[in-house]
Structure 1
Amino acid sequence: MRVGSFLESTDNAYVQGDIVVLGPRIEGDVIAIDVADNQRVTAGQPLIRLEDRDWRARRDAAAAGLAEAEAAIGTYAAQIDQQRAQIAAAEAQLGTAQAEQARAAADASRYGSLATSGYGSRENAERTLADRRKADANVLAAQANIQAAQATLPVIESQARAARARRDTAAAQLVLAESDLANTVIRAPFDGIVGNRAAQIGAHVRVGQNLIAVAPPPDRQWVVANFKETQVARMHPGQPVTLSVDAHGAAALHGHVDSLAPATGSQFSLLPPENATGNFTKIVQRVPVRIALDAGQDPSILRPGLSVEAEVDTRADPTAPRGVFGAAAAVLSGR
């Protein structure tokens, strides 16, 4: 409500904060609750523990699978080195066979010429011819050995790639198993106060089931004041605000306008109003205004959901003397 020419006030205001409701990411039995109701907690502090024997066994199995996959990679690496050594040995054998082939061919040619001219025996010519044919066969055999060894190498390399893929899969499974094991402990996402505990020791819980809530500490809360649309024309971020918390009587806090909502509150409702109909009743809309608390105050009196009276000073110079008192004037005006 408008209190003075420069003061805008409303009692449609509430303390708000990011309350997080926690639930398990895995299914299991509750074996321990590490916090008491309404206890202060720090970020990462364990709140609830689930039975972890099955998840620990799965983690160990995944770790064993990864170790087996890594061992297979080592085996294939050794086989690849061995196969390359066999190829090198086969190539050396081919060189030896080719040298023997050249010698045998020269001997066969020389002894054959001598036998034809009558200066050599036919027996020596036939023997050297047989040696040449044997050398030719040895060259062919060495070439075949090289081809076989070279053909085997890609097969082993393909098996090694498959082993690396299995290793990557096993590593991913281990990460998931470790994540599941870590999820047996439900931890506080930030510093705050726990409340609304629904978990009970021995209860079997399912994924996503609400077990406990964490409310933010007072210094991470704010006020949302729902001003009438006729009150926000001169409001802008930075303007000073006086806050009176209903639960604490005369205790007053000071803050400033942090931001104005981009739409009226009704537009964010589950079923926004549809005014393009034959029957229309004009209703003054409310614009949510977020109010941040100024530093240097004791915000311990705040709790999310508490009712607040808020008064915004819209003057260009809010330090000038006031002619009207704030929240008290709002009450007297019958707001």
Structure 2
Amino acid sequence: MEEIKKEEIKKTENSNENNETKNSNKKIALKKILTFIICLVVIGVIFILYWALYGRTIEDTDDAYVNGSQNIITSQVSGTINKLMIEDTQYVNKGDLLATVDDIDYRLALENATASLGKAIRYYSSLNSQVAQLQKDVIAKENTLKKAKTDYQIAKSSYEAGLASKHEFLTTKDNLNIAIASLEQSNSALNNAITQVSSTSIMTHPDVQQAITAYKKAYVDLERTKIYAPVSGVVAKKAIFLGQEVAPSQELLTIINLENTWADVNLKETQMKNVKVGNKVTLVSDVNKKKYSGYVQGISAGTGSSLSLLPAQNATGNWIKIVQRVPVRVHIDSDSIKENGIIPIGSSMKATVYLEKNSDKIVPFQEKTSSLYSIDEATIDEQVNNIIKNNIQ
């Protein structure tokens, strides 16, 4: 009996221990569940706070790339490259001489234009003396006509009186007609010469104007045999070599100004709701991992697919909606470039747009001009005046 009681007592103790273990495990499980729920709540609160205080005020993407002005250099005249001063990746300054085209043909053309202008000036100058000469010729023809009329009247009277032969009479009549025609011809030549002199000046005479235009054209063509850098930057895509024949508008090389770059940030259309011009932007370059500052300078008028060479045609039966991206132009502050260094165009960046912050360094789009391709017309006019002085009579 005692053994049976001992066994029952042991079973009771074991049962109590099992119950206590189960209760302990339940408490541990409940603690874990509560801890997990608390963690979820904390994470949710953190996310809500992040979204409320920061997340809703930004839009970010890693679909952003550096871009810049690619100044394509072309030749303005045709000819053979006889001098070359640049190579790929070389830095050049604005106004540097890059290459020259053989100018022998253009120098000869300028000399020919100079001679033609001198010839036109001398022709105009001769018109004044020609007028005086023609006036004297008209006076002489008028005197001849008077004498012919007198001879005709005398011969007519003598012929009617029987004192002169018919041959003599007809001869004086022919001489009279010849004198009249000769005077008319001289008067016509005189009137023509007077018209050319009186209606124009030396600078407005058609022949002189044509010669001046041809001279200026030859002068400009000679100047354009020199190819200069329109901007400062790095040489790229060089396709010009010594001895190469070039033609007008042929692409020779490209100059990229890396100190004046921007970023093309391609945001999803679902991110564009609150993006506006002037928003501050932070850019992190994949090249040097440095942070650049800027602002939204402009928003494209179309999505990337609509502005592509072959726009997508969605009017099909198997159409699938794809979120489009809108190119946003982000101006990179020049101070930021100077501080962190230049970055090559085409390199990737991560962009963060701050929707509630606007930049105070907004630079409006400005007109860009260059005097590099202009010709000094004052110098040309001075040379034209010298040619006129040397040839006028």
CA 1:148 to 1:38, structure 2 compared with 1: closer, same or farther past 3 Å? same
Q: CA–CA distance in 1 between the matches of 2:280 and 2:194?
A: 73
Secondary structure in 2 matching 1:76: helix
Paired with 1:153 and 1:74, the residues of 2 have a C-alpha distance of 15
1:207 to 1:318, Cα distance in 2 relative to 1, 3 A: closer
Matches within 5 A, 1:116-131: none
Q: Is the 8 A contact 1:255 1:292 kept in 2?
A: yes
CA distances 1:74-101 after superposition (whole Å, capped 9, x unpaired): 11233235546777x68x98xxx9xxxx
Does residue 313 of the first structure (1) align with residue 354 of the second (2)? yes
| Contact 1:14-1:225 at 8 Å conserved across structures | yes
2:188 matched to which residue of 1? 151
One-letter amino acid of the counterpart of residue 236, structure 1: K
The total of aligned residue pairs comes to: 279
The letter for the 1-side match of 2:230 is P
Equivalent positions of 1:155-304 (< 5 A) are 155-157=192-194, 164-218=205-259, 220-249=260-289, 251-299=290-338, 300-304=341-345
SS in 1 for 2:75: coil
- Counterpart AA for 1:285: Q
Distance 1:5 1:318 in 2: 19
Alignment deviations for residues 282-313 of structure 1 (CA, whole Å, 9 cap, x no partner): 11111111111235323432222121111100
Does 1 or 2 have the higher relative contact order (CA < 8 Å, sep 6+)?
1
> In the aligned structure 1, how far is the partner of 2:235 from the partner of 2:195?
55
Aligned equivalents of 2:129, 2:234: Cα separation in 1: 58
What SS is found at the alignment partner of 2:188?
A: helix
State the partner residue of 1:129. none
- Alignment CA distance shift 1:156-1:260 (3 Å): same
Q: Which residue of 1 aligns with 2:117?
A: 66
Q: Report deviation, 1:226.
A: 0.9
Asked if 2 retains the 8 angstrom alpha-carbon contact of 1:69 and 1:164, the reply is no
Equivalences for 1:5-20 in 2 at 5 Å? Answer: 5-20=56-71
The separation in 1 between residues aligned to 2:210 and 2:276, in whole angstroms, is 55
Report what 2:6 is aligned to: none
CA distance in 2, matches of 1:77, 1:12: 77
Query: Are 1:248 and 1:301, in contact at CA under 8 Å, matched by a contact in 2?
Result: no
Shift of 1:142: 11
CA distance in 1, matches of 2:359, 2:294: 13
* Identity over aligned pairs, percent: 31
Gaps of 5+ in 1: 98-140, 320-335
Look up the equivalent residue of 1:6 and give its one-letter code: T
Amino acid at match of 2:256: A
- Please report the RMSD computed on the Cα atoms of aligned residues, expressed in angstroms: 3.7
Q: CA deviation at 1:233?
A: 1.1
Q: Is the 8 A contact 2:86 2:98 kept in 1?
A: yes
Deviations 1:47-89 (A, max 9, x none): 01121111211121122112211221111233235546777x6
1:301–1:317 Cα change, 3 Å? closer
Shift in CA distance, 291/157, structure 1 to aligned 2, threshold 3 Å: farther
Normalising by structure 1, report the TM-score: 0.70
Answer with 166-175 or 285-294: which moved more.
Answer: 166-175
Correspondent of 2:103 among 38, 46, 52: 52
**Which of the pair is proportionally richer in helix?**
2
* Rg comparison, structure with higher value: 2
Paired amino acid for 1:257: V
- CA–CA separation in structure 1 for the residues paired with 2:305 and 2:131: 71
Q: Which residue identity does 1:27 align to in structure 2?
A: S
- Equivalent residue for 2:72, pick from 12, 21, 24: 21
The separation in 2 between residues aligned to 1:289 and 1:158, in whole angstroms, is 67
Structure 2 stretches of 5 or more lacking a match?
Answer: 1-50, 147-177, 361-393
- Asked if the contact 2:283–2:291 (Cα under 8 Å) also holds between the matched residues in 1, the reply is yes
CA contact (8 A) 1:17 1:221 kept: yes
